Each structure stands twice: as structure tokens, then as C-alpha cells.
Structure 1
């Protein structure tokens, strides 16, 4: 029994650490693989083997699929890209573990696992196409932090190229890099880095960001569409816009803290505060001048608000602010910060106490499996809706022969009645799912219907302009009108979901 318990506190080799991360990362994405649900953009991409990443400033995401499929397009080969990204993440987390800890144990591995076990990252991984490039961007960021080489030129260039690669896969990963740079400051305090090394560390990271940004601008930015990079209007109260965007992000993040999760993360926060106090004592006890101690202490204090802001980070500065969970990649670094400080506090009391970090990890893992079940329910509902709509169109010859059928867009929180109970207990899952429509026009070719398009330029005219006509089809969720050679699909507003008791 003692030999078994010693396994949790003994030093692990590189191979053991890699196996731990491989199993843990695969376990986290297993529900998504089993659900096998084409998520939003996946529908049109799989329909046309579509690309369109380069014009979004994500050239390397496009090249990734070109190389992986041996074509100049992107046929759907899920889950192969996700499995490759998961394998790469296991290697990256192993590298980061030995970068942070000289003699890593199982608890040390748990400190860095939130870079993958980020509840909001589940939305990124839900994309069968975009999920893998987003994950690989985090891998590139991690190696930009951990890369070491004796030659100075290589040491400067390789991390900068890795950062440019990360930006070319998904620009929001910059938040993760900046957050990990903040953690480097705390690690330097814990390792009692000398003052000259402090200056070198900060200068090197700054140069890395500048050089990586320049490489990205030269390589991928020229392919980006103009509207993609629109920043906040400086003439229209930008600080008010940023404040509004931060409020919107906070509203979404708070959805995670519900029920027992409040107590789990409250305990984690208390442990992190204790660890921060311990780091503060390290600063006070340094053999440096008072001015240097104050400067180092100030830098440590600034890392906390910096990491908090980086939860959304650069996304706050864009004119078209996206509050989707996939932009909250920086939340992973905030979790790592809490785990790292908690580990310092718990390890100082007893060598086995850091194993308590397993509790919040299990809580996050439970979110992954609950989300996987929600995706399965959504897949069942979407399949039923597709066959219903496809049958109603195919069974009516005037609709089959229509030149074009316009589908109106109706958003609602009440389409997925089958997951109402889960949404109530875990509100964050509804935010992660982010599917508030009944059907996408891109789905209908799957059942042979090719004359349906989403109504865009008509500005949803079907909802107000054709209500006086008798519908050719009147279903539970929609009506289909036919006027001349053109059809119009108008979705009904679903009734609010009522709680069911048996």
C-alpha cells in the first residue's frame, strides 16, 4: 500500500510525465470524439472542403490541412487532426513541466494540465476543422516559452518563429503566450533568479514578441482580409467600449461558477492566496537593494491583473468583439496561475497535499463529459430536424422545383429541450454549445436538397412580409411558403422549456 501511495509523490521521468499527459489529454477530448457532431462552421467546410483561413490571417491553419490531406482543399478527416493535436499537446506539456519543475511529481503535472483542461477551450475543440489548429497554436506557444539552445542566434529566432506560427494558426493564442510570460516572472521569484538574469528574461520576452509579430506580419498578414483586422474606433470612446466588452466577458465567465463549482474554486483561490503570500516573503528575503525588491514585487503584483485581462486579451481591442467561449483561451493561464500558487502553498505544508489539485481537475473533466452528452443530444435533435425539413421539401413537387428557397434566421435559447435540465445545473454548457438556431442551410445538401440558402441580403423579410399567405407546409417548428418560383422557410419561436417531473 505504501509503495502505491509513494507513486503519487515520487519523482517522474520524462516518459512517465508524457504518458500521464497523453492519457489525461485524450480523456478530455474523448466525449467530443464520441459525439462526432459537426459544429457550426464545420457544415459548410465539409460541404465544399472549404478553406478561407488565409483571409482570416490564419495561413498556417490552411497549410496544415493542405499537408494533412495531400490536397489543395480541406476534406473532413476528423478526428485525425484532433488526435494529432492532442499528441502534440502531450509533448508540449511535458516540456513545460520540466521547464517549471526540476524534479516533477504527479502533482506538478496537474499544475500545468489546465492549459488543456480549460472549460472554455471545449468550444474551440468542438470544431472538427478549427479545433486542431487552435490547439496546435497553444502547442507552438508553449514551445516558444520552453525552447533553449546554447547559440544565442538560435535562441532568439526559433521562439520568435514559433510565436509567429502560433499567430498564423489562431491569433488569440497570443493571450496564452503573454500569460505564460507573466508566470515566468513568478517562477523567477520562486527560483530566486539573480537581478541580471531578471533583466535578461524580461528583455528577451519583449524582443520575442516584437520579432514574432514582425515575422507574422510578413508571412501571414498580407493574406488577411481588410475587415478582419479592424480595431476599436479611437474617436468613439474606446475605453467605454473596452469596459463594456469586459463586462460581457465577466457575465460569461461567471456561468462556470455554479453549484459545487463555487466551493471548489473558492478553495483553490484561498490556497493560491497563501502561495502568493509565500512568494511575497521570498521577495522580501532577497539579497537585493530595496529599490530592486520593490520593482520585483511590483512586477509580481501586476502579473495578477494582467493574467485576468488576458482571459479575453487582444479580442477586447477589435471593433467586432467576439464574446464566444473560443476567444477565452487566456482563462487556461489564469487557472495555471491559481494551480501554481496553490501548489507552492500546499507543498510547503505537506508533500502529499498538492494532490488536492485533482479535485478541481475532476470538476473540469466532469464539464467535458457533460458537454459531450449535450453535443450528443444536439446531434440527435439536428438530425431529426434535418430529416423532417428535408422530407417536407422533397415531398412537395413545387418546393422541389423552386428556383430558390430562402431560410429565415430565428435565434432562440429554447430549441434544445432535451438538455434543459443539464443547462439549468451547468449554465456554462449552454454558453459553450452556442447553437441557438434550428437549422443551417448548409445541412440540407446532406439529404439531397440543394436549392435552400440562408436569407442574408433580404434582411429576414420572410418573417414580416409573407405572414398573410397560406403556408404550403405548417410544421411544429416552421412554415414553408411558396410565392411564384421562390419558397420561404419561416421558423416558429419555440416555447420556453418547462421543467419536467415524473
Structure 2
């Protein structure tokens, strides 16, 4: 056992750290690769063979995401080549984490590297990585944000320009990654305090980061931003109590985060928080040892304390202030830095007690890895359900000539928590998986062309019209999950509300 633990505390070279991160990051995405499940937006992108993304990504202000796929596919479109884009992004992330490790620790060990692994082992980041098209670009965006922190060069010009271009690249891949950069800037405050950096250098560092951020935003504004649809940039209405709306949005974020703290995960994170509190006391004692005036020590301590609410806000961060607030877990990229904050403080106190104690950080990491594999199994169950539903609905339409020849078949919007019976027990034990999956519908119209059905569309402009007015007519098709009506040349698919699951024993 002693020799085994020695492996985790011996000093490693850059290549060895990179191999560790490459193995660890690939292990986290392995369940998603094995599931190979087209997630939400992937379906209509697959339908267009990726051609639509050439226009849609730039309209979202994500010009560099489109360029990434153009480069990988050697084309002007984005045909599906999953998992290659994700594997490439994983290799880049391993390199970025290696760079950040040597930025934080002079002589890193694997136990030191555990501190930074939550940047990838973020439970909410699983939803980002679920997108076979968007996921790799989001991962690259985080990598660019990390490199913007770690880049160092003797030339002041390059030290200013390169991080700024990296920030612009991160924004052009996925704007929410700005939360990661800002969170890592907060971590720079803690790192400088723990390393007893002089006050003058401390202020200079913050000034450099602010200048790089402003320049990076300017570069993004003249490169990718002009292509963005202006409806996506609308902020909260400042004449309609925006602070109230912001707090409402924060409450919704907290509700989703609390889904993670369930059962054993709650105890694991409670222990992590307790260790972090002890680590903050340790950091406070280090700040008190600074060879600075009492006022400067107080300011350093105050800024360190203020990083806590800032990091909590940055869980969703900039998304809080947009009029069309998206509470999807894919926007919780800042939660990764909050985890790094807890890991970093815990590492400070654990290593001060014994050099092997930081290995306790493996426990929350294993919990998050376990969550990844559980999520992968849920994706597999969802894939089986979708495949069965697709062939069933496709057969019912193809076997009726009138439905095959209908001008359009409208599919109603019906959402429920009870479609996926096969994963109900897992959802009960790990509630966050239900929100991660975010598939509360029976079928997407974009799936039907896979079985040759091309005349089915979602009923948007006539939302829910199929749920009233036609119920007195006999359905042409009666299924366990839906009814299909035919009126003239138009069909209507009305889904039945599934009954709550009562027969399973938990």
C-alpha cells in the first residue's frame, strides 16, 4: 500500500502529468462515446448532414465552432464524424490541464493534479459533452480559457496579445466559457496569496488580466460577434426590476445544483466543504505572514473572501443577465471552477497534515466519475427507447397509405417525466440525471427521416391544436403511446400522457 501511495506523491515531469490527464479525461467521456447517442440539437444537424451549422453557429456568435468542424472535415459543412471531434478536444484539454498544473505547482505530483481535474470532471459538464456537435467546441472553449491564464512570455506585447486572442477564441467557441476564465482569475488571487506574492506583483497581475479580458472582448467583437443574431444579445429589461429577475434566475440555478447533492453525493460534498473551510483558515494564516502592512494584508484577505460569492455567481455567470435566461445545466460551466476552489483549499490543509492525505480528493472525483458512468447507462436506455419508438411510429405511418401520402402530419408537444420507464429507478436514486438527460418528450420530428418518413413536423404555430377539437373523431391509429388522426390531407399525432410509475419497488 505504501508503494502504491508513493506513486501519487512523487514528482512528475510534464509528459507524465499529460499522460495522467489524458487517461483521466478520456475515462470520463468513455460512457458518452460508448452510448453514441445523438442528443437534442444533434438530430436536426444530422438531418441536414451538418450543412445548417455552417450558418447557425455564426448566428450564435460561435464562428470558431463552425471553423473547427470545417477544418476537421475538410469541407464547408459539418458532417457527423463523432467521436473524432471530442477525442481531439480531450487531447487539447489534457494539455491545458497539464499547463495549469505546472502554473499552480512548481513540482507537481499526481495528488496535486487531482486539484484541477474538476475542470473536466464537472458533473454538469456532462450535458455539454452529450452534444456530439456542440460538445467538442465547448470543451475547446474551456481549454482556450485555461491557456489564457497560463500563457507566459518575456515579451510584454505577446503577454498581452496572446491571452487576449485566446479569450476571443474561447468566446467564439462558446461564450459561457467566459465564466471559466473569470473563475480562474479568482483562483489566481488565492494562488498569489498562498505563494506570498508581493503586493505590487499582485496588483500588476490583476491589471494584466483585466487588460487581456478587455482586449479579448474587443477582438471577439470585430471577429465573431458581427455574425451574431441580435436577438441573442438582449439583456434584462432595466426598467422592469432586473435585480429581482436576476435573483429569481439565481434561485433556479441553486435548485438545479441541489439536485446533485442527493444521498451519498451530499455527504461527499459536505466533507469537501469542511476541508475547504479548514483550508481557508490555513490560507488566512499564510496571508498574515505576508511582509506587508496591516492594511495591505487586510485588502488581500478581503479580496480572497470576496472570491467566494463571485465564484458562486459564476456557476451560471453571464447567462444570468440575458433576457432569455437558459437554466440548462450546460450553462453551469462555472461550477467546475467552484469545485477547483474547494479542491485547492482542501489540498492546502490536507498536505500540511500529511503528504498522502490529498489522496482523499480521489473520493469526490470517483463520485463524479461514477455519475458519468451512470449517465452513460441512462443514455443507452434512452437510445433503446428512442429507437423502439422511432420504428414503431415509422411503421404505423408507413403502413397506412393515407398517412404516407398526407401533405403534412403535425406532431403535438407533450412533455412528461414518465416516458423513460427503464431509467426510473436510477432517476429516483440520482435525481440530477433526469435534468442532465433533459429528454422529457416521446419523439422528435427530426428523427423520422431516419426511417424514411419526411412529412412529419412539430406543431409550433398551431401549438396544442391537436389536443382539442379532434377527440370526437375516431383515430386512424391507436397505440399505447399516441393516437394518429387524419383530417383531409393532414394528419395529427397526439401523444397520450403516460401514467406515473407505481408498480416499481424502490
Q: TM-score, normalised by structure 1?
A: 0.99
Q: What is the 5 A alignment of 1:176-191?
A: 176-191=180-195
- Taking the TM superposition and a 5 Å limit, the aligned residue runs for 1:41-440 are 41-48=41-48, 49=50, 50-51=52-53, 52-440=56-444
Q: How far is 1:6 from its partner?
A: 1.7
1:477 is displaced (CA, Å) by: 0.6
**Per-residue Cα deviation, 1:121-151 (whole angstroms, up to 9, x for no partner):** 0000000000000000000000000001110
- Find the residue that maps to 2:484 and give its secondary structure: strand
- Offset, 1:195: 1.1
Give the distance between the partners of 1:364 and 1:215, measured in 2 at CA.
36
SS at match of 2:175: coil
1:82-120 CA distances to partner (integer Å, 9 max, x unpaired)? 000001100000000000000111111100000000000
Distance in 2 (CA, whole Å) between partners of 1:269 and 1:472 is 59
Secondary structure at 1:8 match in 2: helix
Structure 1: tracts of 5 or more residues without a match: none
* Match in the other structure for 1:454: 458
User: Contact 2:5–2:356 (CA<8 Å) still a contact in 1?
Assistant: no
- Give the corresponding residue for 2:26: 26
| Rounded Cα–Cα distance in structure 2 between residues aligned with 1:499 and 1:399 | 36
**Structure 1 stretch 139-148 or stretch 489-498: which is displaced more?**
489-498
Q: Provide structure 2 residue ranges, at least 5 long, that are not aligned to the other structure.
A: none
1:10 aligns with 10
Partner of 1:490: 494
User: 3-state SS of the aligned residue for 1:439?
Assistant: coil
Q: Which residue of 1 aligns with 2:479?
A: 475
> How much has 1:448 moved relative to structure 2?
0.2
Deviation per CA, 1:22-45, whole angstroms, max 9, x where unpaired?
Answer: 000000000000000000000000
Tell me, yes or no, if the aligned pair for 2:410 and 2:457 is still in contact at 8 Å. yes
Equivalent residue of 2:409, what SS? strand
Instruction: Measure, in 1, the Cα distance between the counterparts of 2:120 and 2:502.
Output: 35
What SS class does the counterpart of residue 57 from structure 1 fall into?
Answer: coil
Deviation at 1:2, TM superposition (A): 4.3
Could you report, residue by residue, the CA deviation over 1:139-180 in whole angstroms, capped at 9, with x for unpaired residues? 000000000111000010000000000000000000000000
TM-score, normalising length from structure 2? 0.98
1:418-452: per-residue Cα shift (whole Å, max 9, x none)? 00000000000001000000000000000000001
Size of the aligned set, in residue pairs, is 502
SS of structure 1 residue aligned to 2:493: strand
CA distances 1:307-351 after superposition (whole Å, capped 9, x unpaired): 011000001001011000100000000000000000000000000
Secondary structure, in 3 states, of the residue corresponding to 2:499? coil
Displacement of 1:499: 4.7
Contact 1:421 1:499 in 2 (8 A): no
Secondary structure in structure 1 of the residue aligned to 2:440? coil
Cα distance between partner residues in 2 of 1:155 and 1:231: 32
CA contact (8 A) 2:413 2:463 kept: no
Matches of 2:505 and 2:255 in 1, distance apart?
A: 30
